[in-house]
Structure 1
Amino acid sequence: MPTLEHAQHQFDLVVLGSGAAGFAAATTAACLGLKVLVVEKAAQFGGTSAISGGAVWLYGTDQARAAGAEDSPEAIRNYLRHVIGDGYDPALVDAFIEHGQRALRWLEQHSELRYALRPHSPDYYPDAPGATQFGRALEMVEYDGKRLGQRFKDLQMPPPGMLLFGGMMVNRVDIQHFLSMRRSPRSLWHCLKLMARYAADRLRHHRGTRLTTGNALIARLATSAFEHGAQLWLRSEALELIVERGVVSGVVVQREGRVERVRARGGVVCAMGGFAAGALAASYRPTQHGPHLSMSPPGNDGAALRLAQAVAAARGQGMAANFFWAPVSELRHANGERERFPHLVTDRAKPGVIAVTAGGRRFVNESDSYHHFVHTMFANGIDSCWLVCDATAMNRYGLGLARPKPVNNQALIDAGYLHRAPTAQALAQAIGADPQVFMQTLEQFNADARNGIDRAFGKGGNSYNRYMGDPQHTPNPCLAPLASPPFYAIRLHTGDLGSACGLVTNAQANVLNRDGQPIAGLYAVGNDMNSLMKGTYPGPGITLGPALTFGWLAANHIAARLQAPTTATENPACTTN
C-alpha cells in the first residue's frame, strides 16, 4: 500500500500530462523563470502527441507570410463557421486566430521548437468559403534525439508499424521518396542517406535518433523545458486536486509507492490526453456492435474529468462528434500482442484502392479526411469495412502495415491481417463479401477510373483529395482500375485519435465551472480542453495547433497571476541559441 509522505513539494506550476499541450505550457513557464513540474502517469513521456503527425494548423504564421500565403482573419473565421456550424465559439476562435501565430513565434524564439510551412496542403474542405490551398498547415522540422541526452530513452516510441526497419522514423516527404525510389534517382539517394544514418544510430541506440513528426515536436519542447529547469516525474499518477477556499493550489500524486502532496502557487494545468482509452469512452460513442479501436495510450482514461469534479467543472456538450475519428486496422501477433495502424495518409486516397462494406459495396469517397471517413461509417451503420487494392497498388503504395515492393508481406497474410487472392471474385469470397455485388462494384469503379472521374463518390474530386493521391499518376492522382492480380484486402474498424469533448474553458484555457465562472488555479489544454472545433476536423493539425496556442496562453496567464517579471511576449534572456 502506498504511504503518505508528510513532506510537501513546492512548485509554481504543475502540469499533468506530457504531450504537446502540456509541454507547451511547461516550456513557456520554465522559460519565464517559473519552477515547473510535469507529472506523467506512463513510463515514457509524449503521449498521443509523440506518435502523431506533428503538424499544426494555424493562421498567419511567419512561415506563411514569408511564403506569400493569402489569408485573413475573416477568411479563417468564415471557414470555421462553415465547418463547425452551430458549435462555433467566437471567443475561443478569436483567441486561437489572434494568439496562435504569436505562440508559435515565441516558442520558436525561446525554445528548440521549429516548424516549416507545407508548400501545398489544402484544408480538408477545400471548396468551403474561406478555405485555403496552403498557408495554414505547418510540419515539424526533424530533430536529433541525442539532444535529449539520457531522457531520449524515456521518449515515447511510435508503434512498429509507423517505423521502418524496426526503429527508423520517416515524415511525409520521406514516405514520398520511398514510394518513388524505384522511379527517381533523387529519391533513391534520399532514402540511401536515411538508411545509412539509421544503421549508424543502431550501433549505439535502441532506435534511430533522427526524429520526425510528433516525436520531434515533443523532443524539441522537452529539451528546452529540461534545460530551463523543469522536472519530469514518470510513473506518477494524479489522485486528487488540492482545493483551498475554492482555489486549486496543488495536486496529490502517487509516485514510487508514496502518496505526495505537491503545491502549485500558480495552479495546475490538465493535459492528460482526454478519455478516449478509458471506460467512459463507450458512453460517448455511437452505439455499435463491433470493436472500436482508439490510438490513444491506455493512460488517456479521463483523469482530468474525474479530478475536476471536485470543483464542479463544466464538461462540453452538443459536439458534432466527441472524438477525432480515424479508421484503424489491427494486427494480432502470435504472442497475443495487438498492433494498431491508423489509416491517415498512406493508402486510402491512392490509385487502385477502394473501401467496401461487408457486402462488397463502396460507401464513401476514400480520399476524404480520416475523420469524415469514419463519420460516414457511423452514418451508415458500418462497424467495419474492407480496404481493397490490386497488385499494382500494393507494389507501389502498400496497404496499412503491408509495405510496397520489394518487401515480402507474407507474415501479415499468415497472421490474418492481410488477405490475398488470385482473382477479385476469390477475394470477395475470402473476406465474406457477396461475389456478385463485389464484381459489380469493381466493374463500375474501374470504368470510371479509366476516365479519371468517380461518378459514385467523387474520389479525387477536390484539391485535398488529389493532394493525398499520387502526384505522378494521371489523369486523376486518386483513381486507377483494380485490374492486376493478385488482389488484397485489410479490415478497417471505426477508430479515433483521441477525444474532442473535455473541460469547458475560457480563452485563457482557465477551466469554467457549471455556472460559467473561471475556477482559480485550474487550466485545461490539449484533449482535456473541450475542443474549439467542437468535434469537427477542418484541417491537418487542428488538435496540435490549439494545443500549442492554449498551452502557451495558460502559462502566460499563470505567469501574470504570479506577477512574473516578464510576460510571454518578451524574455530575451531565455532565447535558445
Structure 2
Amino acid sequence: MTAPHWDAEYDVVVIGAGAGGMAAALTAKIEGCSVLLVEKTDRVGGSTAVSGGAVWAPLNAQSARVGHPDSFEKVWTYLRNTVGDAAPAGMQQAFLRHGAGMVDYLEKHTAVRLVARSYSPDYYPDREGAAFGGRSLDPATFDGRELGAHFRELRDPLPEFMVLGGMMVNMTDARHLLAVTRSFTAWREGMKLVLRYFADRLRGYHRGTRLVLGNALAARLFKSVIDRGIDYWLDTPVEKLDVSHGAVVGVSLVRAGKPVQVRARRGVVVATGGFPWSEELRSAHYPSPTGPWSMSPQGNRGEGIALARQAGATLGQGHTSPAFWAPVSVLQRPDGSVVRYPHLVWDRAKPGLMAVNGAGQRFVNEATSYHEFVRAMYRSHATVPTLPAYLVCDSDFMEQWGMGLALPGGRPRDHLVKAGYLVKAPTLRALGDALGIGGAALQATAERFNAQADQGRDDDFGKGSTEYNRYLGDAAHQPNPCIGALRQGPFYAVKVFAGDIGTAVGIACNENAQALDAAGQPIPGLYAAGNDMHSVMGGEYPAPGITLGPALTFGWIAGRQLAQAAPSHP
C-alpha cells in the first residue's frame, strides 16, 4: 500500500542534473525504471556544462583505432604510480572495469557521442603505464537547435569559452581564429564559425548553437533525457531524504514554493556537484588560505553531501587533496560582478611566460598540470608568500598568446589594466615594484630564465621537459616549445589564486556506487555520483577527464544497480 503522505511516486529519484546525475537517470530509465530528475537551479548541466568536457575512460573501444592500444595492466600500473593508495583499490579497479562499458552503453542508447583523442598525454607521462593518447575522449560537437525550446534550459558555458559574446570555441577553433590573416585554411574555418554564429543570433538564439566541450556533453545528455521522457523538475531544491527502517525511501522537496514528498521505490542518487562554494566545508577541508575562487557553478554548496550525511552516510578518507586545483585569476567589474578565469591549458605552457611568488622568484614548472601548479603554490607559500602568485610575460607573448582575460592580437586591454586585473609596466624592474614583489628580484629571476631559454632548457624546474608540457607548448618554437625569453617591453602580469574546478572529498561509496555508513556498510536506497562521491582518484589528477570519466561511470553503475534493486516498503 502506498503511504498517504506521498505526493508522487517514482522508482528512482536523482538529485542534480550534471553528468553523473543524468547518466544515472538515463540508465535507470533505459533499464525500465520510472525516474524523476530534480535540479535546484533553473538550468540543466551543472559543472559539466561549464567544463572542458574531457572524459577519461581508459580501455575504451576507440583507443587502438587512434593508435594507442591499451591494457588493464598498463593503465592499472599508471594509477598505482599516480593515485596509489589515495583511493580504495577496489574503487579504482571498478572504474577501470566499467568505464569502457559505460561509453559503449551511452553511445548505443543515448545521444552521447565521445571521440578519443589521438594525441593527449596523461599528466605524468614519464611514469610507468602512462599513455600519449586514446584514454581521454571529447564530446562530439552538438547542434543546440536539436534541443528546441529546451535550449534555454541548458546552462551556458563559461564566458571565457566563448567569443563575440556567445560563440563557443575549443582550442582548435581558437588557433584558427588567431591565424585567419595568415592561413587560408584558418580563414575558411574561422569564417564558417563566425557565419554560423551570426546566423544563430539573427534567428533569435541567445547564444551560438554550435556546442563544444562540456556544454556539448551536457547538451547530449539533456537531449537524451528529453527523448527518453524522463520527468525533470527545475528550481526544485531537496530539503531532506526520507528514511524508513534505515533505508532511504523518498525525498522531501520544494516545488513552486510548496512542499512535496516523492517516494523513491528503489532509491535516490545524490549528484549535486560537491561543495566548492560552501565556505564552511572549504574552511574545514581546504588548506589555508582559501577563498571564493572555484570555477564550479556557485550553486554547488554541498547540499547533496549534507543530505546524505543526515541519512547516515560518511565522508571518504585517505585523499591527498580535497579538491581538483586550478590557478584562477579574478576580475572585479565596475558593477561589482566578478569574472574568474581558469589558467588550464592555454597560456602557462607557452614560451615566454614565467610564474613567480611574492619574492619575485620562480617556484614551479609553469607547464605542469593545473592541479600540480596550485599544489606548488601551497608548497611555496609555506616559506614565501605565493598565494597569490603572478604570471609574467612580455609584449611579444601578449600579442601572440594573450594571458588570461587579456586577449592577443592587439585587442583592447586598457580596461583590464584600469580594473587592476592586468598590471603593465615598461620594464621588468618597474613591473616587480608595481606588484610589490621587488623589481630587482623579478629582473634577476627573468635574467636567469632568459639565459636558460636561450639554451632551450629549464635547469631549475624543467619546463618543456615532458611530453605533456610539449603537447601544450608551441610546436613552432624550437628547440624547446615551452620556454622562451621575456625581453620586449612593455611587460605584463596577472595575479592568480588557488582556485579549483571541483571538490574531491565526498560521500564514501562502494563499487556499486552505494553510500556507506560509519561501519562501512551500504545504506539501502542511497547512491552517489559525480563530485558528491568521494573521488576515485583520491584527489590526484592523473589525466584530462578524471572527474567526468568517473562521474559518468558511477552514475551508470548506480542506474544499473537501482534497476535491479527490490522496491522499498512505503
For normalisation by structure 1, the TM-score amounts to 0.94
Q: Please name the residue that 2:531 is paired with.
A: 527
Q: Please name the residue that 1:511 is paired with.
A: 515
CA contact (8 A) 2:115 2:137 kept: yes
- Distance, in Å, in 2 between the alignment partners of 1:435 and 1:326 is 27
Shift of 1:562: 5.0
- Distance, in Å, in 2 between the alignment partners of 1:180 and 1:61 is 34
Deviations 1:111-161 (A, max 9, x none): 110111112100000000111111111111110111111111011112322
The reply to whether residue 416 of structure 1 matches residue 420 of structure 2 is yes
Amino acid at match of 2:556: W
Of the structure 1 ranges 381-390 and 361-370, higher mean CA displacement relative to structure 2 is found in: 381-390
- For residue 388 of structure 1, the aligned residue among 387, 392, 412 is 392
Shift of 1:226: 1.1
Deviations 1:303-323 (A, max 9, x none): 122112233212111210010
- Distance, in Å, in 2 between the alignment partners of 1:543 and 1:352 is 31
- Distance, in Å, in 1 between the alignment partners of 2:357 and 2:232 is 46
Q: Please name the residue that 2:285 is paired with.
A: 284
Q: Please name the residue that 1:348 is paired with.
A: 348
Shift of 1:47: 1.2
Shift of 1:512: 1.0
CA contact (8 A) 1:159 1:339 kept: no
Shift of 1:392: 1.1
- For residue 405 of structure 2, the aligned residue among 394, 401, 406 is 401
Shift of 1:292: 4.9
The reply to whether residue 294 of structure 1 matches residue 294 of structure 2 is yes
Q: Please name the residue that 1:170 is paired with.
A: 169
The reply to whether residue 546 of structure 1 matches residue 546 of structure 2 is no
Q: Please name the residue that 2:464 is paired with.
A: 460
- TM alignment of 1:355-366, pairs within 5 A: 355-366=355-366
CA contact (8 A) 1:31 1:225 kept: no
Deviations 1:413-447 (A, max 9, x none): 22111111122222112211211111110100001
CA contact (8 A) 2:270 2:305 kept: no
The reply to whether residue 474 of structure 1 matches residue 478 of structure 2 is yes
- Distance, in Å, in 2 between the alignment partners of 1:184 and 1:55 is 28
- Distance, in Å, in 2 between the alignment partners of 1:179 and 1:438 is 30
Deviations 1:316-338 (A, max 9, x none): 11210010011101111110000
Shift of 1:70: 2.6
- Distance, in Å, in 2 between the alignment partners of 1:314 and 1:375 is 26
Shift of 1:229: 1.0
The alignment's C-alpha RMSD in Å is 1.4
Amino acid at match of 2:282: A
Q: Please name the residue that 1:10 is paired with.
A: 9
Shift of 1:51: 0.4
- Distance, in Å, in 1 between the alignment partners of 2:501 and 2:461 is 25
Q: SS of 2:283's equivalent? A: helix
The reply to whether residue 378 of structure 1 matches residue 382 of structure 2 is no
- TM alignment of 1:85-484, pairs within 5 A: 85-203=84-202, 204-279=204-279, 280-288=281-289, 291-381=291-381, 382-484=386-488
- Distance, in Å, in 1 between the alignment partners of 2:265 and 2:249 is 6
Q: SS of 2:453's equivalent? A: helix
Percentage of identical aligned residues? 47
Task: Summarize the Cα distance change of 1:43–1:123 in structure 2 as closer, same or farther, 3 Å threshold.
Answer: same
Q: Please name the residue that 1:50 is paired with.
A: 49
Shift of 1:177: 2.2
- Distance, in Å, in 2 between the alignment partners of 1:545 and 1:176 is 27
- Distance, in Å, in 1 between the alignment partners of 2:53 and 2:369 is 17
Structure 1, unaligned runs of 5 or more: 564-577
Shift of 1:178: 2.7
Shift of 1:41: 1.0
Of the structure 1 ranges 337-346 and 90-99, higher mean CA displacement relative to structure 2 is found in: 90-99
Q: SS of 2:432's equivalent? A: helix
Shift of 1:6: 5.5
CA contact (8 A) 2:6 2:263 kept: no
Q: SS of 2:249's equivalent? A: strand
- Distance, in Å, in 1 between the alignment partners of 2:455 and 2:379 is 29
Q: SS of 2:237's equivalent? A: strand
Amino acid at match of 2:219: A
CA contact (8 A) 1:35 1:229 kept: no
Q: SS of 2:167's equivalent? A: coil
Shift of 1:34: 2.1
- Distance, in Å, in 2 between the alignment partners of 1:476 and 1:188 is 28
- Distance, in Å, in 1 between the alignment partners of 2:89 and 2:179 is 44
Q: SS of 1:495's equivalent? A: strand
Amino acid at match of 2:444: Q
- Distance, in Å, in 2 between the alignment partners of 1:45 and 1:275 is 18
CA contact (8 A) 1:321 1:536 kept: yes
Q: SS of 1:266's equivalent? A: strand
Deviations 1:232-255 (A, max 9, x none): 211111100011111111100012
CA contact (8 A) 2:432 2:441 kept: no
- Distance, in Å, in 2 between the alignment partners of 1:448 and 1:119 is 32
Q: Please name the residue that 2:64 is paired with.
A: 65
Q: SS of 2:259's equivalent? A: strand
Q: SS of 2:83's equivalent? A: helix
- Distance, in Å, in 1 between the alignment partners of 2:363 and 2:45 is 36
Shift of 1:174: 1.3
Deviations 1:60-86 (A, max 9, x none): 111112223132111111111111123
Q: Please name the residue that 1:571 is paired with.
A: none
Q: SS of 2:553's equivalent? A: helix
CA contact (8 A) 1:27 1:222 kept: no
Q: Please name the residue that 1:78 is paired with.
A: 77
Shift of 1:380: 1.5
Amino acid at match of 2:459: R
Deviations 1:479-513 (A, max 9, x none): 11011111111100011111101001111101111
Q: Please name the residue that 2:24 is paired with.
A: 25
Amino acid at match of 1:512: L
Amino acid at match of 2:150: R
Amino acid at match of 1:438: L
CA contact (8 A) 1:40 1:233 kept: yes
- Distance, in Å, in 2 between the alignment partners of 1:32 and 1:318 is 34
Of the structure 1 ranges 179-188 and 537-546, higher mean CA displacement relative to structure 2 is found in: 179-188
- Distance, in Å, in 2 between the alignment partners of 1:151 and 1:538 is 35
- Distance, in Å, in 2 between the alignment partners of 1:510 and 1:129 is 32
Q: SS of 1:267's equivalent? A: strand
Deviations 1:165-221 (A, max 9, x none): 111111122123234334332122211110111111111200000011111001101
CA contact (8 A) 1:324 1:498 kept: yes
Amino acid at match of 2:131: T
CA contact (8 A) 2:392 2:493 kept: yes
Of the structure 1 ranges 442-451 and 307-316, higher mean CA displacement relative to structure 2 is found in: 307-316
Amino acid at match of 2:264: A
